[in-house]
A and B are shown apart, each in its own frame.
Chain A
Amino acid sequence: MPKPAFRPLAASLIRKTILIATLSAVCVAAVQALLAYRQAHRQFDLSMRDIASTSLPMLSGSLWDIEPETVRRQVQAIADRYRIGYVRLEARTGQVFEAGRPAMRVAGASEHFDIPYPYQKTGSLGGLDIWPDADALYAEVARSVSSAVLGYVLLTGVVCLTLAIILRRDLQRPMQHIADFVTHMRAETLTRPLALQRPSAHTRDEIDLVADGFRTLQDGLNSYITTLDNLVADRTKELKTAMDAVHELSITDPLTGCFNRRLFNERFQQEIERAIRYSRALSIAYCDVDHFKQINDRYGHAVGDRVLVQVVDMFRQQLREGVDWMSRYGGEEFIIVQPETPLAAAQASAERLRRAIADARVNAGGTAIQVTASFGVAQLGPGENATILLGRADALLYEAKQAGRNCVFPPVPGT
């Protein structure tokens, strides 16, 4: 559906004003015409009476003295008077004098005057009929109406013009400006303030209210957008925390907090590749808690779990933070990865761990029990991969188990 054509508010306001003014002018003209017609009628009647009253004595004298030429001239003089259309004088003796325009001789429109005898004699010498000049009457009415209408039209014109100027300056331009401003508003320019080029005034009007409203709206939007950004940042942070937690969960053993086997597989491969690429030493220690199944059976899983947690705590205390890392590889099996560590150092480290575990005691329902662990330590050999290295460490652990447990294989010299 096409948009309706644009029509400025001021234009339609002016158009309506003119329409109403025109209708009013017609009404005014009609009323004025009516009043003027009645007024003119009254004035014409008065005029006729005036003229008649001033002419009657002379006519009376002329008629009495039988001066037809004078009577004719007097009648003509009356007819020549403004507002007089036609004059007819009929003497009592039958003589008729007429002057003026016969077209004005309309039945019923005349004023009749008796011409008295001169010298205070009673009676009538004849009758004088005077018809008003209808053309002059209408001309007077027209003049009156047209002057009124002209005045009205002039006034209306001035009012409309003033209205147009005021509307254009105070309404149309600012509104247009606001409309343009709103139309061209972009997210990035949302904060640009609305600047109206208006003459400063002592009072405020609706445009100012609209502009203020816009400013309030802009401020509101700005603050809302800012809040929204903060909210998003908060939520993102929360999400990241959650994600980190989930990731932590996915790579960590929930009981002990050390890496699980899935992460080990991934990270261990990377350690192998890095050691090979940089020809660095890499050693691992395969560790298994001795007789863990008996501890579980004898003291319950809670104690078993506590054993595992304590063992891991001890590993954490003994190992190099940020370099060495460990993973719970199986139920009670842990693999400790020690980058940049040759076999001897790894052996020594494992020995230290074994001793620490053996020296510690675990609280099992009021009873302190001793726990031990066995270690198989291996250094990555040339041409070896993760599987081979793990296999060798696993084999060495098996040898340590076979050798009586609570020991490190290959054994540290001097122990």
Chain B
Amino acid sequence: MRKYCRLAGLLCCLMTHSIASAQSVVFIDPGKSDEIYWVTAAHAMESAARSLGMHLDVRYAERDHPRSMDIEREIAALPVGKRPDFAIVTNDYATGPELLRILDGAGIKTLFAYSRILSAPELVDAGRPRARFKGWLGSLEPRAEDAGYLTAHALITRARAARAFGSDGKLHLLAIGGDRSSTTSILRDAGMRRAAAEAHDVMLDQEVFAGWTRDKAAEQSEWLFQRYPDARLIWAGNDLMAFGAMDTWEKRGGMPGKDAFFSGINTSSAAMEDLRAGRLSALAGGHFMCGAWALVLLYDYAHGHDFADEGLELERPMFMLFTPAEAERFTARFGDTDFSQIDFRRFSKILNPKLKHYDFSFAQLMR
């Protein structure tokens, strides 16, 4: 059955190939070219592109917002024949509307991945997909709130079990968020707050923003630990910030996972390692696949199956909460950021006409 399927897919692929040449996609990677999360994301996308027979060009903005704009302008300035068909961009630091303006002017269709245009001023600027900017196809993003909620909930459960109550009988939680403006950060924090609010024995002492970096998280946690001596729960918006806070805790003579509990988001090998070692009490990840999933959407769109039937602004669960065992399995399977064993055609509606809903959860890749 699977063989048939593959054959059909291949045929299909060949057919579409004969109809139109392979779709070319450019991905403006907001991260640095050595930043593990964004490199992993790019690798996953490359695997997906290969798997789907698309041409992918990854450009790193190196966390320099004006640079992403420059890259867009460069692309828009290319001769018409050399311009990519699609661009996958992120809405980091509210650069979205301006990116849209550039790309739409150049006739390049744009899909937001990872983060979308969300805030009111941005919406005033950009409107809705396929309205003011016709080439703005829509957006696909992980349900970032999940990540915050899953990790915070697991963290609280773990701490409660370890009876890490403060003198007032409450679990004192400190939150180290990424930044104040990006959608991802806002939503992850919201998930964390939802979990904290649900638990009546949790006191969220303070929330700070460490800019996603380990050093600043380490520095801020130093202050926080002094400010809140009762705090034993440290929630972090990513893995690096969790590491920073753990560094500080250890420096103060504590033992992460024993006398204080930390949670992080991401699937870096270091995070997986800490999870297995028990130093990290909760870890969620899998959203790095968002770009690869976006390619699946574009593949279907290019071949005549518009994802509009599921909505233009898709927000899908992509996170999974890893257990130490799953961490081990993840490392074994994807530890070298090689995702070539994943057959992305399985998720295409064009190639799988029976598929009614896109399922982008990471858990299915771990089975």
Contacts and interface: CB of A to CB of B under 8 A. Distances in A.
23 contacts: A64-B206, A65-B208, A65-B209, A66-B208, A66-B219, A66-B220, A66-B223, A66-B224, A67-B208, A67-B209, A68-B219, A68-B220, A68-B223, A69-B216, A91-B223, A92-B227, A93-B222, A93-B223, A93-B226, A93-B227, A94-B226, A95-B222, A95-B223
Given A67-B209, A68-B220, 5 more contacts: A68-B223, A69-B216, A92-B227, A94-B226, A95-B222
B327 to A, nearest CB: 30
A68 B227 CA distance: 15
Contacts of B224: 66
Contacts of A69: 216
A91 B223 CA distance: 9
Contacts of B206: 64
Contacts of A66: 208, 219-220, 223-224
Interface residues of A, number: 11
Interface string A83-99: 00000000111110000
Nearest to B226: A93
Contacts of A91: 223
A259 to B, nearest CB: 154
Interface residues of B, number: 11
Nearest to B180: A65
Nearest to B219: A68
A67 B219 CA distance: 9
A412 to B, nearest CB: 176
Contacts, number: 23
Interface string A42-68: 000000000000000000000011111
Nearest to B225: A93
Nearest to A68: B219
Contacts of A65: 208-209
A198 to B, nearest CB: 85
A65 B209 CA distance: 7
A64 B224 CA distance: 10
A93 B219 CA distance: 12
Contacts of A67: 208-209
B235 to A, nearest CB: 15
Interface in A89-142: 91-95
A92 B220 CA distance: 14
Contacts of B208: 65-67
Nearest to A69: B216
B224 to A, nearest CB: 7
Nearest to A63: B223
A68 B215 CA distance: 12
A94 B220 CA distance: 13
A92 B224 CA distance: 11
Contacts of A68: 219-220, 223
Interface in B158-198: none
Contacts of B226: 93-94
B276 to A, nearest CB: 30
Select the residue from A66, A67, A69, A92 with max chain B CB neighbours within 10 A: A66
Nearest to B207: A65
Contacts of A94: 226
A124 to B, nearest CB: 12
Contacts of B223: 66, 68, 91, 93, 95
A5 to B, nearest CB: 83
A95 B219 CA distance: 10
Nearest to B208: A66
A65 B211 CA distance: 12
Contacts of B220: 66, 68
Interface in B213-255: 216, 219-220, 222-224, 226-227
Contacts of A95: 222-223
B182 to A, nearest CB: 16
B212 to A, nearest CB: 14
Contacts of B216: 69
Contacts of B219: 66, 68
Contacts of B227: 92-93
A233 B206 CA distance: 132
A353 to B, nearest CB: 168
Interface string A296-316: 000000000000000000000
B283 to A, nearest CB: 24
A158 B141 CA distance: 83
A89 to B, nearest CB: 13
Select the residue from B206, B216, B223, B224 with max chain A CB neighbours within 10 A: B223
A93 B225 CA distance: 9
A69 B219 CA distance: 10
A67 B222 CA distance: 12
A310 B219 CA distance: 166
A58 B206 CA distance: 18
A291 to B, nearest CB: 175
A152 B227 CA distance: 60
A95 B226 CA distance: 10
Select the residue from A65, A69, A95 with max chain B CB neighbours within 10 A: A65
A29 B220 CA distance: 54
A127 to B, nearest CB: 15
B59 to A, nearest CB: 29
Leading 4 A-B pairs by shortest Cβ distance: A93-B226, A66-B220, A66-B223, A66-B208
A120 B179 CA distance: 24
